């Protein structure tokens, strides 16, 4: 009898310690969010959102340049990555046995694992070196490379869930192949593709390393895609590693906005998955 | 009008795909072909990007490869002033931070995996833990670094004072802590997936023999899913090796060989982030790119091995 009690005790001790350790592992999330909001929220006001940084010593100033820069970079990156990504994803699901698809699968696996700093180097070698200067365009293209695997994977996985009967019904109505895909298959897989795009956006909006040698940063407002632009993560990095208290404050405010933006994208994408789940 | 119908007829005869009695079979088959070429064009573009990344990294690091050869990886001297570049301190820094981070991360990620894969597979608590884990993975690296500078550094400095080492605060140990927090979600979610895949027949058989849940986990679930959990850890290692910003902000950026886990150092990724914009001459730039190429190859090998093990596990199950 004693043996059984010992085993039962072990059982419950293990269960509760597992729960405790798991909760302990998630504590940093609360710490980070709490810290960022406590330090960042007081900084944010109308001026902070609508003006550019001031020089050291002057108080005030904002992060408009970084927000506009991030917006530009994200738009450029999506404009490139979304069409290529969706088409590549369709290719894998439509021609799974083709040699190109197999190589593409491998490429996506590789692309997903490449460290962001290496992608930054590539952006520098491919674009900045050829153009001779840093620019928003080079930053956007670099980020689009990071966004691709997310979109391709989600497109592929969603389209694989759609049953062949749907496609056959469209054929039976005399709808040609390209229209079947564009007007029947892709719309029914929209939720998954949309999730992929949102997650891709959330990922690249917070990336700093690929922008260090491409978008470079800019302390003035710039909307010319051929000139360097600021970006939220770049600004956070530059100001956080500076020795000035004033700049740290701006950096906390920017962190707060970035965290809200990224986590909102993440949460929306979860909701999209839940609400529009493909059911067949 | 007449011309168009003539063209349609011609195309039908030459064997293009036609859709029987419709009006524009020619247009359709042309658009089909166009659509398909679009698909292949997109696919080939992505393949070329990946191949191009590899080739470009090698070409751009040729000056440094020619100058230093294999010594580049074994020399400890990194000194731009005398134009000598050796990457060993960064290789060691990367190894130390990643494996230390892995050691810290394993118990936590295993706990989350078991929690979600066995104890709470559904219900509000499970979805709460799952969502929080995913949010943890979604926080940008630079925010982890910033938070680490103001929260972890004082904590580590205090710790270093207590155990009596030089209290830098920043350094390899601090970077490992932040890396561990960052990679927990990856190995945890993979671990959960494989634990969930353990066939219930095995578990039920053990229960019917009178095993407690702990014994089932220890004797059935963990041995069965061992290779999958291992693969999750390997993929987390790949993340840790390539992680840049948080480490750059916390490691102290010293190009000397680290002499303990508390000393400042540099990883392959952090030295590139720190020095690339300051690299003024070609040999310097190309040495940094060569570090990038090494990093690229190491992470790809780690990733492909991890994914191979997972595929094998899925096939077996």
Map out the domains of chain B as residue ranges: 87-316
Mean pLDDT of chain B: 89
Share of chain B above pLDDT 90, in %: 77
pLDDT the model gives residue B125: 92
Q: What is the pLDDT of residue B3?
A: 41
pTM of the predicted model as reported, rounded to 2 decimal places: 0.91
Cα B155 from Cα B167, distance rounded (Å): 11
Q: What is the pLDDT of residue A176?
A: 87
Q: How far apart are CA A240 and CA B145, in angstroms?
A: 9
Closest approach of chain A CAs to the CA of B122, in angstroms?
A: 15
pLDDT in tens, A114-130: 999 999 999 999 999 99
Q: What is the pLDDT of residue A278?
A: 65
Q: Which of B222, B238, B220, B217 is nearest to B308 (CA)?
A: B238
Residue B193, both tokens: 């997936």
Residue in B29, B47, B139 nearest the CB of A103? B47
pLDDT range class, residue B7, cuts 50, 70, 90:
very low
Q: Chains A, B: CB contacts under 8 A, how many?
A: 255
Residue B69 has pLDDT above 80, yes or no: yes
Q: So what's the pLDDT on residue B14?
A: 40
> Model confidence over A3-18: pLDDT tens digits?
889 999 999 999 999 9
Which chain A residues are within 8 Å of B273, Cβ to Cβ?
117, 209, 212
Which of A6, A12, A22 best tests the B interface by mutation, with the highest count of B CBs <10 A?
A22
pLDDT for the residue numbered A213? 93
pLDDT band at B23 (very low <50, low <70, confident <90, very high): low
Eight-state DSSP code of residue A15: H
Residue B24: its pLDDT value, please? 63
Tell me if A31 and B119 make a contact (CB, 8 A cut-off): no
B56 and A122: CB-CB below 8 Å?
Answer: yes
Cβ A219 vs Cβ A230: under 8 Å: yes
For residue A41, pLDDT beyond 50: yes
A83/B53 Cβ within 8 A: no
DSSP run (H or E) holding A49:
helix A46-50
Does position B15 have pLDDT exceeding 60, yes or no? no
Mean pLDDT across chain A, nearest whole number? 92
- Furthest C-alpha separation in chain B: 94
- Choose the closest CB to A262 out of B107, B140, B145: B140
Give the pLDDT of residue B4.
41
Nearest residue, CB atoms, B142 vs list A11, A202, A206: A206
Conformation bin of residue A57: beta by default, left when phi > 0, alpha when psi is -120 to 50? left
Facing B277 at nearest CB: one of A182, A213, A259: A213
Q: Do B272 and A259 touch (CB under 8 A)?
A: no
Separation CA B284–CA A24 (nearest Å): 44
Angle at B310 between CA B315 and CA B180, to 5 degrees: 160
So what's the pLDDT on residue B90? Answer: 96
Dihedral over alpha carbons A230, B247, B113, B308 (to 10 degrees): 90
The answer to whether the Cβ–Cβ distance between A109 and B303 falls below 8 Å is yes
Pick one of 1.20.1250.20, 1.10.3720.10, 2.70.98.30, 3.30.465.10 as the CATH number of A49-275.
1.10.3720.10
Q: Are A136 and A228 in contact (CB under 8 A)?
A: yes
Judge whether residue A56 has pLDDT over 90: no
- Collapse the DSSP code of B265 into the 3-class scheme (helix H, G, I; strand E, B; otherwise coil) and give the result: strand
Check: CATH 1.10.10.10 for B87-316? Answer: no
Tokens 């000598």 found at: B84
pLDDT (average), residues A133-158:
95
Per-residue pLDDT at B26: 75
């Amino acid at each position: 009898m004693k043996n059984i009690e010992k085993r039962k005790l072990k059982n419950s001790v293990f269960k509760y310690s597992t729960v405790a350790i798991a909760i302990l592992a998630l504590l940093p999330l609360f710490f980070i969010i709490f810290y960022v909001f406590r330090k960042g929220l007081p900084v944010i006001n109308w001026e902070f959102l609508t003006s550019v940084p001031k020089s050291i010593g002057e108080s005030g100033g904002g992060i408009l340049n970084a927000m506009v820069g991030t917006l530009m970079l994200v738009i450029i990156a999506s404009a490139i990555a979304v069409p290529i990504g969706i088409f590549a994803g369709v290719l894998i699901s439509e021609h799974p046995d083709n040699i190109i698809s197999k190589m593409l699968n491998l490429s996506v696996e590789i692309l997903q694992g490449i460290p962001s700093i290496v992608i930054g180097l590539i952006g520098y070698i491919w674009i900045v070196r050829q153009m001779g200067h840093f620019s928003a365009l080079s930053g956007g293209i670099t980020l689009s490379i990071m966004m691709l695997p997310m979109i391709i994977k989600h497109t592929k996985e969603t389209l694989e869930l759609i049953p062949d009967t749907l496609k056959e019904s469209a054929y039976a109505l005399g709808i040609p192949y390209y229209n079947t895909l564009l007007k029947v298959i892709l719309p029914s897989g929209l939720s998954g593709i949309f999730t992929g795009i949102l997650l891709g956006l959330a990922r690249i909006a917070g990336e700093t390393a690929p922008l260090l040698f491409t978008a470079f940063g800019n302390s003035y407002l710039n909307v010319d895609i051929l000139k360097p632009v600021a970006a939220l993560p770049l600004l956070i990095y530059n100001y956080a590693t500076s020795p000035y208290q004033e700049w740290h404050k701006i950096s906390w405010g920017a962190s707060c906005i970035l965290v809200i933006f990224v986590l909102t994208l993440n949460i929306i994408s979860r909701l999209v998955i839940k609400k529009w789940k493909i059911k067949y | 009008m007449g011309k168009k119908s003539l063209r349609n007829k011609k195309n039908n005869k030459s064997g293009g795909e036609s859709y029987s009695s419709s009006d524009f079979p020619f247009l359709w088959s042309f658009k089909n072909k166009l659509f398909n070429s679009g698909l292949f064009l997109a696919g080939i573009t992505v393949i070329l990007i990946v191949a191009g990344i590899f080739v470009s990294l090698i070409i751009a690091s040729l000056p440094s490869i020619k100058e230093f050869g294999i010594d580049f990886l074994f020399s400890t001297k990194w000194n731009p002033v005398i134009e000598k570049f050796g990457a060993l301190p960064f290789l060691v820094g990367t190894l130390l931070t990643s494996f230390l981070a892995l050691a810290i991360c394993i118990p936590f990620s295993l706990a989350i995996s078991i929690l979600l894969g066995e104890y709470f597979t559904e219900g509000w608590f499970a979805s709460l833990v799952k969502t929080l884990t995913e949010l943890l993975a979604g926080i940008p690296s630079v925010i982890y670094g910033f938070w680490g500078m103001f929260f972890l550094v004082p904590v580590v400095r205090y710790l270093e004072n207590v155990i009596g080492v030089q209290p830098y605060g920043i350094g390899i140990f601090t970077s490992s802590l932040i890396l561990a927090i960052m990679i927990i979600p990856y190995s945890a979610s993979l671990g959960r997936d494989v634990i969930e895949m353990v066939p219930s027949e095995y578990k039920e058989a053990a229960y019917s023999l009178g095993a407690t849940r702990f014994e089932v986990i220890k004797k059935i679930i963990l041995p069965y899913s061992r290779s999958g959990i291992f693969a999750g850890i390997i993929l987390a290692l790949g993340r840790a090796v390539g992680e840049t910003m948080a480490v750059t902000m916390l490691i102290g950026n010293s190009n000397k060989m680290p002499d303990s886990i508390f000393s400042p150092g540099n990883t392959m990724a952090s030295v590139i982030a720190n020095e690339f914009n300051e690299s003024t001459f070609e040999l310097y730039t190309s040495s940094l790119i060569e570090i990038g190429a090494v990093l690229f190859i190491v992470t790809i090998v780690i990733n492909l091995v991890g994914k191979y093990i997972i595929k094998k596990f899925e096939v077996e199950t």
